[in-house]
Structure formats: C-alpha cells, structure tokens
Structure 1
Amino acid sequence: MTDFSVSLTTEQAPTTWGENARFSITDNGAHIHLPDEGDNLRVIQQAARRLDGLNIPGVTLTGEWTAAQQWAFAISYTRARNPGEIRWCENADKTDLAQKYRALLFTRKLVNDTPEDLSPENLANRAAEWLKEVGGDHVTVTQTVGEALKDAGWVGIYNVGRGSERPPVLLEVDYNPTGNSDAPVSAVLVGKGITFDSGGYSIKSSEGMLDMKCDMGGAATVTGSLGLAISQGLNKRVKLLLCCAENLISGHAYKLGDVLTYKNGQTVEIVNTDAEGRLVLADGLLAATATGAPLIIDAATLTGAATVALGHDYHAVFSMDDDAREAMLQSAKNEGEKFWPLPLEAWHQDRCPSAFADTANSRAQKGGGAGGASNAAGFLSRFVKADGKGWIHLDLAAAYHGSSTPEMPVGATAAGIRSIARLLHDYA
C-alpha cells in the first residue's frame, strides 16, 4: 500500500487550513492537530472520517499514539465497503490492536452483508467457521435446522423462522480448551440472529425495513467477542448459542393470536410478530440456563425503545444481578466502550399481560409502549433462573448506523466486542 503516514501533534494547524483546523495534509501524509483540552479521541475520529473520504488505500500510524487513540482512529477510518488498510504503530500495543481489529472486521462484515447472501444457515456456518479458525480443535459445533427445531421443542426459533423458505437454525458452539469433556461451562453467549426482519404480519414500513439486515447484530457481536477472547488466550470453557431466522410473511408464517409453549412451560401469546427477537432469544436462554454456567450474556438489536433512550452511542445493559451488571459496566469502562444501565425489576415480567397465555410477547401498541426495552428484558427474564443470577441482557442500540456521522461510518460498528471479551476473561 502507499506509505501515507498519519501522526498526532499538539501544534496548531497552518493558518492556510483555517482557524481551529484539526487536520492538515503534508507531503507524505497527514497531521491530526489535537486540542490542549477536550475530547481528543473525538477529534481523532473526525479526522479519520475525513481521511477515509479521500479513498486512501491505507495509512501508517507514526509517532506517539496511545492504544486508545489508535483504536479511535481505526473504528472511524474503517468504512463499510473496501476499507483502507491500517498499519499500527511499532510499539507494545501492536499485537493486541491487531487481534481486536481482526474481530472488528469480522463482526462488521457479517452485519453489513446483504440479507440475500446471509441466510440463517449461512450466518451459522460463517460464525462456526470463524471460531474454528481461531479456536482450532478446541471448538465443536452442533446445528439444529428447520423441522428438527420443532421436534426438539425450540418453538421460538422455529415459529419465527417458518415463514421463510430458508430454514431457521440454532447454532451451538462449544469452546473447551481444558481437554476435559466434563469441564464446567464458565459462560454462555446468546445472540439474536434475525438475518432479515420484515416485521412479519406486523409489517414494518419500507423505511423501517431498510436496515433490517442488521437485526443479526447480536449474533455477530457475541461471535466476534468470543473469537477475540479466544485469540487473547481464553482458557475457560465457553458456549455460544446463535438463534438464527428470517422473519418473513408467507402462508407458513406465524400469526397474531398464536400461542407458543416453551420448554419451561411458559405460554406466550403473539400480539406483535415484529417482537420476534425475544421469542428466539427465549430458546437460547433456556439452553444456556441448562448448562449451569455462572455467566449468561445475551445480545440483541432488540428494541427501538433502547435507541430512543440512548441514541446510537450506547448499548443498554439490563440485569437483575447487581454484581453481574457492575462487572459488565466495569469491563466496558476499562475498554473505553459506551454501555449504560436501564431498569429491570422482577415485576417487568408482568408488563405484557395476556388473557390467553402466561404473557404476551409485547404490548399491542407501537414500539411496545412506554418502557418497551425494560418490558422486553422482563419477558426474557422468564427464561433464566428466577433470581436472574449471573444473567446480563444487552440491547445493542449502538450496533449499527443507518447513515454516517462526523465520527462514524455508515453501517455496523462492532461496538461491544472488546467489553464482552474482557468480561469472559475477568468474570469469576
């Protein structure tokens, strides 16, 4: 690639670049001019976006950069289509940054790919292949596909996905570096893998449907997180469960008024076929709880309500376990990623009542009504241990940008993979 160097400086930009300029071009690259005070990382991100707009094949980061500064540049410079190459500074951070960046590229590409190319089976296969690549012989894979889901009792994934000609899938990946087949499972990651969400019979508008290729962002995020943790030397047994389906309309699709009976006996009335993510995650959480793992993290682009609350900058964190919630928030703080807690109490289970079942899957109003993100988390809490010990639910409001911003490119962000990977290492 062309040796286009990018360096940081605290000197003011030449006057020819304008007053308060934070970016200037040199003979062989560019300088990013940092302010004496303020958010230096944001300045770096904005400069990276401007460099990306020049369609440079690649850049070399030179001079003095911290790891956080290099990462801020990378997440903003890396556009969705034909991203430029990055050469890291030759310092102690290089290997760690390369591992994280590899996981970021995998996660973003998976989310950004077209829904035609990314069927439920394709999503499961690509996730499994990547984890085998990084985990080698320590990784084993099981898939339950199509009608076999019905036979096995995974009613959420089966019913959400049965409207599509491309069958739904429950993927289970077992990463076990201990060499002991009886080793306890330390953690389970559960991801929502809706490869396209039309809303079903509760159909979305054209505008609302445009970006629904990103509705498997939870599956991509937990897969990227596990792959990153493995590449960092994870020595614990961890399982990954991806709940993969297309939510489409057909003569075979599930309908409003249907009642699903889950393996734990919970009955659920369907009052909104566009509240499908929680239905597939319920199966994944039941399977995760059955392992006895002390830590369960589910991740999903689940509700518009979380985005209303937090915008596209933070992921929402829900837990009934104060210690688990604080551990997630601390991991995010240590990694410099933005997570924010939203309320979840035991009584949130009862916020979607039904006269025909134990619960409805939402409320029969737009967006699920007030408190929709907490109500969705309350629904999910029916499918873990009653006290919610060790369970963390992540509503990924910051997983995808439908349009570019001064700091971020359009498309998938891969935000959160570093924090989840860290928690897998650190959680006792």
Structure 2
Amino acid sequence: MTVLADLIQPDKGQPARTIHIVDKQNFDDWLAAQPERHRTAIDAQDMKPTPFARAILPGDKADDWSVVTVVADRVRLSSWCLAKLAETLPAGTYRLAEGEPGAALFGWLSAQYRFDTYRKDEKAAPARILLTGEVNRIADTVRTAKATARVRDLVNTPTLDMGPADLEAAVAALARKHDGECKVTRGDELEQGYPMIHAVGMAADKARAPRLIELSWGRKDAPRVAIVGKGVCFDTGGLDIKPSAGMRLMKKDMGGAAHALALAGLVMEHNLPVRLHLLIPAVENAIAGNALRPGDVIISRKGLSVEVANTDAEGRLILADALVRAVEDEPELLIDFATLTGAARVALGPDLPALFANDDALATDMAANGTAEDDPLWRLPLWTGYDDMLKSDVADLNNSPDGGFAGSITAALFLSRFVPDTLPWAHFDTFAWRPSAKPGRPKGGEALGLRAAWGLLRQRYG
C-alpha cells in the first residue's frame, strides 16, 4: 500500500527528473525556445496546449528525460494541475523546473490514492515522489490528504464491513489516538433520549442496532465547536423502499459521518484550540416487521412531533435528534454533513455540495475557503417562504413534503427547526461520491466540502 507521507519530500538537491510547466498563453514561446529534439518529441506525441496534456522530453542519454505538462494557469497552480502526472508518470522522483508546487502538492497525493482492501495484492502501486522547498507545507498537506483518504475509505467500504458498530469503532479509535472521550448511546437509553434515531434504526438486527456516537476533545474552557455527520450505513428506503438502481450506492449514505469524522481528526491532529464535540447518529434503515411506517408520528428529542410522510426521508430525522444534543452544550459554531437529498444533486450535480447557513458571514467565509482550497460549494437559501410545505395535519412537522419542489431546501428547513437562530450553523448536503474519475479524483467515495470546512475552522481558530 502506498504511504502518502512518502510521496512529497523536502528538496535537498537529490537526483530527480524535471517537470516543466507551461500554459496556453506561453506555450508557443516556450516551444520556440526548446531544442529541436524537444519540439520533435512534442510533435510526435501530438501534445496540444490543453490542461493536463503532457509529453516526455528526451535528454542527452537514453535514460535522461524530463516531462512537460500544460496547466490552466502556471502562475497560480491549482490543486489538480499536476494530478494527471501523479497518476501516469513512471515511478520515480520529480521536481519542478521553476517555482514550487504549492496547492498542487495536495493533488499529487490525492491522485495516488487507491482503495485496494478487497483486491489481491498483485503488485504495489508505483510511487511518484514530488520534491518541494516548501518544507512547512508538507505536514499540513499530508494530513489533509490523509483526511480525504479517510473519507474515501469509509465511503468505499461495503456496508457488510461498515455498519453502525464499525463507525463506532472508527470514532473510538480516533478518540484513543488523541486522548478524547467517546460515548455511545444505544438500546433503551437511545429510545428514550433520541426517539428519531431509534425509530429509523430499530428494524435492523441486533448486531447493527442504532446508536448515537459522540467524541469530546479539547480544553473545556475553549470555544465549543460541534460537528455532526449523518451515519446511515445503508438505506433501503425503509417501507418506502428504493428501486434497485437507487439502492445500489446506498453504502455511501454514511458519507456525512465520514466527512464529520475526518474533519474532527484534522482538528485534533492540528491541536486546534477548541472544545470539539463530534456527533454521529449511526443507523441502518432496514425493512422488517417493526420498521417505521409511513404515517407514524415520532416525538423528537426537542419535543416537536414529526409525521413520517416518507420513510426514505430518514436522514433528517436522525440528524435532528443529534443536532438537538449538540445544541444542548451551547457551541459557538455548528457544522453538519449529510448525503441528504437527491434534489441537491439535481440542482448542483455531483461536484458541488449544497451549503445552507443561517449566518451570512459564516456562509461567505465557508464559500471563500472552498474557493481557496479548490473545494467549491454553492450556497442555497434557507427560504422561509417554503416553511408551509413542512406542515402536517396531525403533527408539528412533516418530514417529506408532497410535490417534490425545493427538496434540498425543505430538508434544510426541517433541520433548522432544531437549531436556534442565534447559533451560527452550516449544513452541507454533499454527495460524497464521484461517479466518474477526474485527475486526482478517482471514481468512488469522495470528500466534498471537507477542505472548505477545515479552511474555515483554521481561519477562525488557528
């Protein structure tokens, strides 16, 4: 297995092959200044000045070669501009001909991620090492890449090996590593204290019983930050059962929990001066004789009654109870992640998490950090004009309005009923999955919004 920490190293003048970086604006001038053998090689390899294009440049000897690649902007390298090279170059050590990789260090690591847990180890993946003079940047980049890999690993793992107990084990291991405190609520205590978490997960067998997993870390007098992640380890849809095509990827319905766990890990690894509270409601939305039924009414932890119009709108139910628990400790910032609605994907596609926030400054800062980290997101409104859609004839709230209009907004509005207006709160409706590969971003589980949120936390507390 490739160790990410080994793939970027301090540049101490060790032997390495050279990477030349050009962009469309300077490509012709650069090419004109090259020796004839380089121009011939580029022509033979049919290299054009388009991003991610690359060519091997021959040197004076057979094994003396370098590489040229085209980026969108050679002045400001993005996270992904060297990622294609990291996927395709032969194993070896490389350095840039001019300048430093900067943000591209992350893409270099991210591109070499592999999920090979279930594959026979036929041969080790080739290690492509990139040298940099930005020594202070290496540790941070490795930590962020590892956090991204953590999200991918958790989401990619099949439900058979990633049930509620497995999420609990992952949080417990993180707590032990950083001297945190892990608490798990299950059974009768869960049913009494967190009725909606219990109701969603009660049809699962005993080994996969629902639970609320909490991790606390940091000085008790430090600013309190709560991070909540939706941990639906598999979602059949309940009695409102999904079609087989809709169920195929439901191992990823704990992607919010994966993001929350990874973000909590970054907070602790960087020793951010906060009092961290991580909460993961972990369930399997299964089908059995005791499954939650359409039309049932549940009294939430907050005391609000909720009519279950659709058992496939279960994520907001478990999140609501967890959000109430987070609010009870009076944090100054609350962030949640959830693979919550298909409506967000219809609106924004797979790449852009929908961001909802009850605080404009928080939303602005989160979006700015997403841009800075090449981890874009898009704010959608908590449009209170749609509050009427949440009305129920028999309860305080309805979990799934009829009609399908503004599905991601009404889901966020539902959650907002469990968060005080005075508490800055950001809600990520993220996909946690990449349906097709891009350079540095393989198909499968993906961290979408993680680096934006981490950038904000560092900005505010670092």
Q: State the SS of the aligned residue for 1:202.
A: coil
Separation of aligned partners in 1, 2:290 and 2:126: 44
Counterpart AA for 1:404: A
2:355–2:379: 8 Å Cα contact kept in structure 1? yes
Partner of 1:95: 139
TM-score scaled by length of structure 2: 0.81
Partner of 1:24: 55
Distance 1:350 1:113, change over 3 A: same
TM-score scaled by length of structure 1: 0.88
Separation of aligned partners in 1, 2:209 and 2:312: 18
Q: Alpha-carbon deviation of 1:67?
A: 2.4
Distance 1:5 1:206, change over 3 A: farther
Q: Which runs of 5+ in 2 are unaligned?
A: 8-14, 23-29, 32-40, 58-62, 118-124
Distance 1:393 1:357, change over 3 A: same
Q: Alpha-carbon deviation of 1:388?
A: 5.1
Distance 1:104 1:37, change over 3 A: closer
Partner of 1:70: 105
Q: Does 1:143 find its partner at 2:184?
A: yes
Q: Does 1:336 find its partner at 2:380?
A: no
2:171–2:182: 8 Å Cα contact kept in structure 1? no
Q: State the SS of the aligned residue for 1:196.
A: strand
Q: State the SS of the aligned residue for 1:208.
A: helix
The Cα offsets for residues 249-285 of structure 1, whole Å up to 9 and x where unpaired, read as 1112111111011122211111111111100000111
Distance 1:405 1:283, change over 3 A: same
Separation of aligned partners in 1, 2:92 and 2:19: 10
Name the Cα RMSD after superposition.
2.7
Q: Alpha-carbon deviation of 1:336?
A: 2.6
Distance 1:203 1:23, change over 3 A: same
Separation of aligned partners in 2, 1:230 and 1:105: 17
Q: Alpha-carbon deviation of 1:36?
A: 6.9
Q: Alpha-carbon deviation of 1:297?
A: 0.5
Question: What percentage of residue pairs aligned between the two structures are identical?
Answer: 33
Separation of aligned partners in 2, 1:6 and 1:110: 36
**Corresponding residue pairs, total:** 410
Separation of aligned partners in 2, 1:81 and 1:89: 26
Which residue, out of 427, 452, 458, partners 1:393? Answer: 427
Separation of aligned partners in 2, 1:6 and 1:413: 31
1:336-355 correspondence to structure 2 within 5 Å: 336-355=374-393
**Deviates further, 186-195 or 86-95:** 86-95
Q: Alpha-carbon deviation of 1:389?
A: 3.0
> Which of the two has higher C-alpha Rg?
2
1:75–1:413: 8 Å Cα contact kept in structure 2? no
1:15-414 correspondence to structure 2 within 5 Å: 15-20=43-48, 22-25=53-56, 27=63, 31-35=67-71, 41=78, 43-50=81-88, 60-63=93-96, 64-81=99-116, 85=127, 87-91=129-133, 92=135, 93-133=137-177, 135=178, 137=179, 139-151=180-192, 153-165=193-205, 166-176=208-218, 178=219, 181=220, 183=221, 185-365=223-403, 369-385=404-420, 387=421, 389-397=423-431, 399-405=432-438, 408-414=441-447
Partner of 2:10: none
Q: Alpha-carbon deviation of 1:88?
A: 4.3
The Cα offsets for residues 94-120 of structure 1, whole Å up to 9 and x where unpaired, read as 121111122122221111111000111
1:348–1:379: 8 Å Cα contact kept in structure 2? no
Separation of aligned partners in 2, 1:86 and 1:199: 43
Q: Alpha-carbon deviation of 1:349?
A: 3.5
Q: State the SS of the aligned residue for 2:55.
A: strand
Distance 1:9 1:245, change over 3 A: same
The Cα offsets for residues 7-47 of structure 1, whole Å up to 9 and x where unpaired, read as 34325562121141712346488735124759964553444
Q: State the SS of the aligned residue for 1:67.
A: coil
Q: Alpha-carbon deviation of 1:407?
A: 6.0
Separation of aligned partners in 1, 2:126 and 2:288: 41
Distance 1:312 1:267, change over 3 A: same
Distance 1:68 1:425, change over 3 A: closer
1:319–1:388: 8 Å Cα contact kept in structure 2? no
Partner of 2:42: 14
The Cα offsets for residues 342-368 of structure 1, whole Å up to 9 and x where unpaired, read as 011334433222111111101245xxx
Separation of aligned partners in 2, 1:373 and 1:204: 18
Distance 1:254 1:4, change over 3 A: farther
2:16–2:95: 8 Å Cα contact kept in structure 1? no
Counterpart AA for 2:217: Y
Distance 1:17 1:422, change over 3 A: same
The Cα offsets for residues 311-365 of structure 1, whole Å up to 9 and x where unpaired, read as 1111111012112212222222332310110011334433222111111101245
Distance 1:76 1:169, change over 3 A: same
